[in-house]
């Protein structure tokens, strides 16, 4: 049993194994990668894809295509005067990604319940950076790749699901609030009072010259009973004390906590946990499905007295 390409971006349960196209190896020629870039065998668009996967770890074909489209780098240059500019098709991007996998700039994998050495033709494919991509970024970008190793790609399926959800949220921000988006960081390490906390991601939106910060935790059904209550306890210590001021400048208010839940049932459970075990009051909850719409109307407030979630309009987007 494996995740096929009809599965979409629904939350992936734990227990699925990664089936990689290529085994990771250190036997990749750095000089060859750099020569390919110098000779334009590797293009600036290839570099953009490598940067994207370095920052977000994993992405599907559709997500990479959407990213390139939102960044305005799908359109091909005119070959001759008066020829119409045309947009690269998703099938062409797939072919290019597979070429980058062959050249070990990228790798790709599927998810299966059983160990196998072959990716099934109709599997849902996830792309990630390979060692050649690190070499490319080390010489042709300002990204700090010194501490990057191919082992960052090795994760259980439930964590991959969270990474894909973070990627999808970022793409929605690019689509809807690109002019406001100051930064977006996955897994930022925050330290205070000998405590460390790593939210799934955080981002900042500018509003009338004022930065508005948001911490986001992706929550799956398996997290609700144990992992999430432990994490939200740390988040409370960061958000409800002055500790947040160490990282977030230019605003007198602490970051708003967003929860990206697997579905409405998990969202309700998360609301109960936060309201009944913490004093965090600046939080809103959304779901994987709701962020595919307009972010302004995608978030819910938990009403403790009624024990229910209510959609609330957020004009910050």
pLDDT of residue 88: 85
pLDDT digits (tens, 9 = 90+) for 182-225: 999 999 999 998 899 999 999 999 999 999 999 999 999 999 99
| φ/ψ of residue 93, rounded to 5 | -65, -40
Residue 184, beta-bridge partner list: 203
Can you give the residue ranges of every domain in the chain? 17-155, 179-311
Q: Is the pLDDT at 10 greater than 80, yes or no?
A: yes
Q: Is the pLDDT at 84 greater than 60, yes or no?
A: no
Burial class (CB in 10 A: 0-12, 13-18, 19+), 281: exposed
What CA–CA distance (Å, rounded) separates 166 from 53? Answer: 12
Provide mean pLDDT across the span 142-155: 96
pLDDT of residue 47: 97
* SS percent in the chain: helix, strand, coil, step 5: 40, 20, 40
Write down the pTM of the prediction.
Answer: 0.94
pLDDT of residue 186: 97
Provide mean pLDDT across the span 130-139: 97
Confidence of residue 85 (pLDDT cuts 50, 70, 90): low
Provide mean pLDDT across the span 149-157: 96
Name the token pair of 168. Answer: 């999808």
Tell me the torsion sign for CA atoms 4, 219, 187, 152. Answer: negative
pLDDT of residue 150: 97
Could you tell me if 165 and 9 are in contact, meaning their C-beta atoms sit under 8 angstroms apart?
yes
pLDDT digits (tens, 9 = 90+) for 294-316: 999 999 999 999 999 999 999 99
What CA–CA distance (Å, rounded) separates 202 from 135? Answer: 27
First-residue to last-residue Cα distance in the chain:
40
Classify strands 201-207 and 210-219 as parallel, antiparallel or unpaired: antiparallel
Q: Is the pLDDT at 116 greater than 90, yes or no?
A: no
pLDDT digits (tens, 9 = 90+) for 46-74: 999 999 999 999 999 999 999 999 999 88
| Residue that wins the pLDDT comparison between 81 and 293 | 293
β strands within 9-85, DSSP E: 17-20
Q: Is the pLDDT at 78 greater than 70, yes or no?
A: no
Is CATH 1.10.3470 the classification given to domain 17-155?
Answer: no
DSSP 8-state assignment for residue 106: E
Could you tell me if 125 and 109 are in contact, meaning their C-beta atoms sit under 8 angstroms apart?
yes
Provide mean pLDDT across the span 73-77: 70
Mean pLDDT (the chain) is 94
């Amino acid at each position: 049993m494996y995740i096929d390409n009809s599965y979409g971006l629904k939350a992936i349960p734990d227990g699925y194994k990664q089936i990689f196209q290529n085994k990771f190896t250190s036997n990749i020629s750095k000089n060859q990668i750099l020569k390919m870039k110098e000779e334009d065998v590797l293009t600036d668009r290839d570099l953009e894809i490598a940067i994207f996967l370095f920052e977000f770890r994993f992405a599907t074909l559709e997500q990479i295509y959407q990213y390139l489209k939102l960044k305005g780098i799908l359109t091909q240059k005119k070959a001759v005067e008066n020829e119409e500019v045309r947009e690269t098709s998703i099938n062409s991007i797939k072919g290019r990604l597979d070429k980058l996998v062959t050249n070990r700039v990228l790798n790709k994998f599927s998810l299966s319940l059983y160990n196998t050495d072959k990716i099934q033709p109709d599997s849902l494919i996830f792309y990630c950076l390979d060692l050649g991509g690190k070499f490319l970024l080390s010489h042709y970008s300002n990204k700090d790749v010194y501490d990057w190793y191919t082992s960052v790609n090795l994760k259980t399926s439930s964590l991959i699901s969270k990474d894909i959800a973070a990627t999808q949220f970022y793409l929605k921000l690019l689509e809807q609030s690109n002019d406001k988006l100051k930064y977006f960081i996955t897994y930022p390490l925050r330290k205070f009072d000998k405590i460390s906390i790593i939210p799934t991601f955080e981002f900042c939106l500018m509003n009338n010259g004022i930065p508005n910060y948001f911490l986001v935790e992706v929550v799956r059904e398996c997290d609700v009973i144990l992992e999430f209550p432990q994490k939200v306890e740390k988040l409370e210590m960061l958000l409800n004390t002055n500790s947040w001021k160490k990282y977030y400048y230019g605003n007198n208010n602490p970051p708003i906590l967003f929860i990206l839940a697997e579905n409405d049932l998990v969202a309700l459970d998360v609301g109960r946990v936060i309201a009944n075990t913490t004093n965090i009051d600046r939080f809103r909850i959304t779901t994987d499905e709701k962020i595919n719409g307009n972010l302004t109307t995608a978030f819910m407030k938990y009403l403790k007295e009624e024990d229910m979630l209510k959609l609330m309009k957020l004009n910050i987007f």
